[in-house]
Amino acid sequence: MAQAKSDAQQRQSATLPRQMPNPEGRQEDCLQINYHPQGLINLRNSGDVSKIMSRHFGTALPQEANRFSVSGDRRALWLGPDESLLMCADQDAAELHRTLGTQLTDQHFQLTLLSDALAVYELNGPYVREILAKGCALDLHVSVFRPGQCAQSSLDRASVTLMCEARNSFRLICRTSFADYVETWLKDAAIEYGYSVRNRLK
Amino acid sequence: MAGPVLDRGIGGLRDKAKRYSVFSLARQAASYHTGWQQAWRHAEPKSEYDAVIIGGGGHGLATAYYLASVHGMTNIAVIEKGWLGGGNTGRNTTIIRSNYLWDESASIYEHALKLWEGLAQDLNFNIMFSQRGVLTIAHSEHELKEMSRRVHAIRLNGIDSEILSPQEIKTFVPIMNTDQSIRYPVMGGFLQKRGGTARHDAVAWGYARAADDLGADIIQNCEVTALRRSGRRITGIETTKGVIKTSKVGCVVAGHSSVLAEMAGMHLPLASRPLQALVSEPIKPILDTVIMSNAVHMYISQSDKGEMVLGAGVDKYNSYAQRGSFPVPEHMLEAAVELFPVLSRLRMLRHWGGIVDTCPDASPIISKTDVDGLYFNCGWGTGGFKATPGSGHVFADLIANDRPNSIAEPYALKRFETGFLIDEHGAAGVAH
Amino acid sequence: MAKNKQVMRVKGGSAVQQDKLVQFTFDGKSYMGCAGDTLASALLANNVHLVGRSFKYHRPRGIMAAGAEEANALVQLGTDGRVEPNLRATQVELYDGLVAKSQNRFPSLKFDVGQVNSLLSRFFPAGFYYKTFMWPASFWMTYEKFIRNAAGLGKVGRDHNDPDRYEKRHAHFDIVIAGGGASGLMAAWQAGMSGCRVLLAEAGPRCGGWLNSVDDVEIDSQPAQDWIKKTLVRLQAMENVSVLTRTTLFGYGDHNYLTLAQTVTDHLKDKPAHLPRMRMWKVRAQQVILATGAIERPLVFSGNDLPGVMLASAAQTYLGEFGVLPGKRGIVMTNNDATWHIAFALQEAGCLVKAIVDTRPSASPALKRQAESLGIEVLSSHGITAAHGHLKVARVEVSPLTADGTDITGDALHIDCDCILMSGGLSPVVHLHSQARGKLTWDEKTLCFRPSSAHEAEQSAGACNGTFDLQRGLKEAITAAGKAAKAVGMAVQTVDVPVVDAPRINRAPMAVWSLPNGQGEGEKAFVDFQNDVTASDIKLAVREGYHSVEHVKRYTTTGMATDQGKTSNINALAILADQLGDAIPEVGTTTFRMPYTPTSIGMIAGRSIGSLFDPVRTTQMESLHRQAGAKFEHVGQWMRAWYYPKEGEDMEQAVSREVLATRQAAGLLDASTLGKIDIKGPDAAEFLNRIYTNGWLKLKVGRCRYGLMCKDDGMVMDDGVTTRLAEDHFHMTTTTGGAAGVLDWLEEWLQTEWPELRVYLTSVTEQWAVATLSGPAAKDILTAAGVDIDLANDAFPFMSMKKGHVSGLPARLFRISFTGELSYEINVPARYGAALWSTLMKAGAPFGLTPYGTEAMHVLRAEKGFIIVGQETDGSVTPLDLGMDWIVSKTKTDFIGKRALERVSMADPQRKQLVGLLTDDPNKVIPEGAHAVLDPDQPTPMAMLGHVTSSYFSPNLGHSIAMGLLKGGHELMGQTVYIPMLDGHPPIKARITDTSFYDAKGDRLNGAS
Amino acid sequence: MLQLNCPFCGLRDEAEFSCGGEAHIARPLAGNQLNDKDFADYLFLRDNPKGVFLERWRHAAGCRRWFNVARHTVSHEIIETYAMGSLPKSKAARQAYQESWRRKTAAEAASKPAKKGKEGR
Ligand SMILES: Cc1cc2nc3c(=O)[nH]c(=O)nc-3n(C[C@H](O)[C@H](O)[C@H](O)COP(=O)(O)OP(=O)(O)OC[C@H]3O[C@@H](n4cnc5c(N)ncnc54)[C@H](O)[C@@H]3O)c2cc1C
Ligand SMILES: NC(=O)c1ccc[n+]([C@@H]2O[C@H](COP(=O)([O-])OP(=O)(O)OC[C@H]3O[C@@H](n4cnc5c(N)ncnc54)[C@H](O)[C@@H]3O)[C@@H](O)[C@H]2O)c1
Ligand SMILES: Cc1cc2nc3c(=O)[nH]c(=O)nc-3n(C[C@H](O)[C@H](O)[C@H](O)COP(=O)(O)O)c2cc1C
Ligand SMILES: [Zn+2]
**Helices assigned H by DSSP within C350-385:** 365-374
pLDDT at position B429 over 50: no
pLDDT at position A6 over 50: no
Taking CA atoms, what residue in A is nearest to C605?
Answer: A156
Task: Note whether A65 contacts D9, CB cutoff 8 Å.
Answer: yes
Can you tell me the distance from the alpha carbon of B206 to that of B218, in angstroms, rounded to the nearest whole number?
A: 12
Can you tell me the distance from the alpha carbon of C140 to that of C993, in angstroms, rounded to the nearest whole number?
A: 52
Which one of A8, A113, A175 has the shortest CB-CB distance to C490? A8
Can you tell me the distance from the alpha carbon of D86 to that of D90, in angstroms, rounded to the nearest whole number?
A: 12
- Give the pLDDT confidence score for residue C88 in this predicted structure: 98
C415 & C435 share domain: no
C279 & C207 share domain: yes
Which one of D5, D16, D64 has the shortest CB-CB distance to A153? D16
Q: Is residue C657 domain-resident? A: no
Q: Which atom of ligand 1 is nearest to the CA of B62?
A: 25
Q: Establish whether the linkage from the previous residue to C595 is cis, with ω within 30° of 0.
A: yes
The CA C224 to ligand 3 mean position distance, Å, reads 41
Q: Is residue C289 domain-resident? A: yes
C272 & C214 share domain: yes
Task: Note whether B141 contacts C557, CB cutoff 8 Å.
Answer: no
pLDDT at position A17 over 90: no
B279 lines ligand 3 (CB under 6 A): yes
Question: Which residues of A are less than 8 Å from D15 in CB distance?
Answer: 137, 154
- Give the pLDDT confidence score for residue C157 in this predicted structure: 86
Can you tell me the distance from the alpha carbon of D86 to that of C725, in angstroms, rounded to the nearest whole number?
A: 35
- Whether the CB of D3 is below 8 Å from some CB of chain C: the reply is yes
Which one of D8, D13, D16 has the shortest CB-CB distance to A81? D8
B311 lines ligand 1 (CB under 6 A): yes
Cβ C912 vs Cβ C896: under 8 Å: no
Average pLDDT, chain B: 95
B273 lines ligand 1 (CB under 6 A): no
A31 & A126 share domain: yes
A94 & A149 share domain: no
User: CATH number for the domain including C586?
Assistant: 1.10.10.1100
The CA C444 to ligand 4 mean position distance, Å, reads 50
The CA C146 to ligand 2 mean position distance, Å, reads 42
A151 & A185 share domain: yes
Q: Is residue C126 domain-resident? A: yes
Residues B377-414: pLDDT tens digits? Answer: 999 999 999 999 999 999 999 999 999 999 999 999 99
Give B186→chain D minimum CA distance, Å.
28
Can you tell me the distance from the alpha carbon of B111 to that of B92, in angstroms, rounded to the nearest whole number?
A: 20
Fold of D3-106: Folate-binding fold (3.30.2270)
SS3 labels along C715-780: CEEEEEEEEEEECCEEEEEECCCCHHHHHHHHHHHHHHHCCCCCCEEEECHHHEEEEEEECCCHHH
pLDDT at position B432 over 60: no
Give C447→chain B minimum CA distance, Å.
26
A103 & A54 share domain: yes
Give A1→chain D minimum CA distance, Å.
7
Q: Is residue A168 domain-resident? A: yes
Q: Comparing C-alpha atoms, which of B293, B353, B277 is closest to residue B317? A: B353
- Give the pLDDT confidence score for residue B426 in this predicted structure: 60
Nearest ligand, measured from the Cα of C431: 2
B86 lines ligand 1 (CB under 6 A): yes
Residues B283-300: pLDDT tens digits? Answer: 999 999 999 998 888 999
| Domain range list for chain D | 3-106
pLDDT tier for residue B105 given thresholds of 50, 70 and 90: very high
The CA A156 to ligand 3 mean position distance, Å, reads 30
Q: Is residue A2 domain-resident? A: no
Residues 6+ apart with CB under 8 A from B331: B297, B312, C608
Length, in residues, of chain A: 202
Q: Comparing C-alpha atoms, which of C181, C179, C191, C186 is closest to residue C481? A: C191
Taking CA atoms, what residue in C is nearest to D107?
Answer: C899
A47 & A95 share domain: yes
Task: Note whether D1 contacts C253, CB cutoff 8 Å.
Answer: yes
From atom 32 of ligand 1, which residue's Cα is the shortest distance away? Answer: B253
C103 & C194 share domain: no
Residue-wise DSSP of C35-84: ET-BHHHHHHHTT----EE-SSS--EE----SSTT--S-EEEE-SGGG-E
Chains in touch with B (3+ beta-carbon pairs under 8 Å) read C, D
Q: Is residue C768 domain-resident? A: no
- Give the pLDDT confidence score for residue C453 in this predicted structure: 97
Cβ C292 vs Cβ C252: under 8 Å: no
Task: Note whether A137 contacts D16, CB cutoff 8 Å.
Answer: yes
Total tally of structural domains belonging to chain A: 2
Residue-wise DSSP of B43-72: ----SB-SEEEE--SHHHHHHHHHHHHTT-
A138 & A162 share domain: yes
Length, in residues, of chain D: 121
User: CATH number for the domain including C12?
Assistant: 3.10.20.440
Ligand 2 pocket by Cβ (under 6 Å): C 178-184, 201-204, 209-211, 248-249, 291-294, 313, 426, 429, 432, 462-464, 468-470, 473, 596
Cβ C209 vs Cβ C293: under 8 Å: yes
Q: What is the mean pLDDT of residues B350-363?
A: 96
Distances (CA, A) of B309 to B291, C155, C225: 11, 16, 44
Q: Is residue C58 domain-resident? A: yes
Task: Note whether D63 contacts A81, CB cutoff 8 Å.
Answer: yes
The CA D20 to ligand 4 mean position distance, Å, reads 15
Tens-level pLDDT at each residue, chain D (121 residues): 999 999 999 999 999 999 999 999 999 999 999 999 999 999 999 999 999 999 999 999 999 999 999 999 999 999 999 999 999 999 999 999 999 999 999 999 999 886 554 443 3
Question: Which residues of B are less than 8 Å from C522 in CB distance?
Answer: 32
Q: Is residue A183 domain-resident? A: yes
Q: What is the ipTM for the molecules in this complex?
A: 0.96
Low-confidence ranges of chain C (pLDDT < 50): 1009
User: CATH number for the domain including A156?
Assistant: 3.30.1360.120
- Regarding predicted confidence, which is higher, B45 or B13? B45
Total tally of structural domains belonging to chain C: 4
B223 lines ligand 1 (CB under 6 A): yes
Distances (CA, A) of C697 to C8, C730, C801, C979: 91, 12, 17, 45
- Give the pLDDT confidence score for residue C37 in this predicted structure: 98
pLDDT at position A24 over 60: no
Residues C344-403: pLDDT tens digits? Answer: 999 999 999 999 999 999 889 999 999 999 999 999 999 999 999 999 999 999 999 999
The CA D62 to ligand 4 mean position distance, Å, reads 5
- Give the pLDDT confidence score for residue A18 in this predicted structure: 41
Q: What is the mean pLDDT of residues A81-100?
A: 97
Cβ B249 vs Cβ B64: under 8 Å: no
pLDDT at position A2 over 60: no
Torsion of CA A42, A44, A45, A51, to 10 degrees: 20
Can you tell me the distance from the alpha carbon of B73 to that of C548, in angstroms, rounded to the nearest whole number?
A: 28
Q: Establish whether the linkage from the previous residue to C136 is cis, with ω within 30° of 0.
A: yes
- Give the pLDDT confidence score for residue C119 in this predicted structure: 80
Name C423's bridge partners: C334
C383 & C442 share domain: no
Give B244→chain C minimum CA distance, Å.
24
| Domain of A94, in residue numbers | 39-113
Nearest ligand, measured from the Cα of C341: 2
Q: What is the mean pLDDT of residues A63-75?
A: 95
Can you tell me the distance from the alpha carbon of B119 to that of B141, in angstroms, rounded to the nearest whole number?
A: 39
C335 & C351 share domain: yes
Distances (CA, A) of C931 to A20, B191, C85, C776, C965: 61, 19, 48, 37, 9
B283 lines ligand 3 (CB under 6 A): no
Which among B257, B318, B323, B369 is the top mutation candidate for probing chain D, defined by the most D β-carbons within 10 Å of its own β-carbon? Answer: B318
Portion 4-63 of D in contact with B at CB < 8 A: 14-15, 18-19, 21, 36-37, 40-41, 43-50, 53, 55
User: CATH number for the domain including C322?
Assistant: 3.50.50.60
| Domain of C367, in residue numbers | 298-424+506-524
From atom 28 of ligand 2, which residue's Cα is the shortest distance away? Answer: C292
Distance in Å from the first CA to the final CA of chain A: 41
Beta-carbon pairs below 8 A across chains B and C: 312
Which one of C135, C166, C601 has the shortest CB-CB distance to B346? C601
Residues A132-166: pLDDT tens digits? Answer: 999 999 999 999 999 999 999 999 999 999 999 99
A146 & A178 share domain: yes
Can you tell me the distance from the alpha carbon of C950 to that of C539, in angstroms, rounded to the nearest whole number?
A: 64
| CA B68 distance to own-chain centroid | 20
Length, in residues, of chain B: 432
Q: Is residue C777 domain-resident? A: no
- Give the pLDDT confidence score for residue C342 in this predicted structure: 97
Q: Is residue A166 domain-resident? A: yes
Provide the residue type at C567 as one letter.
T
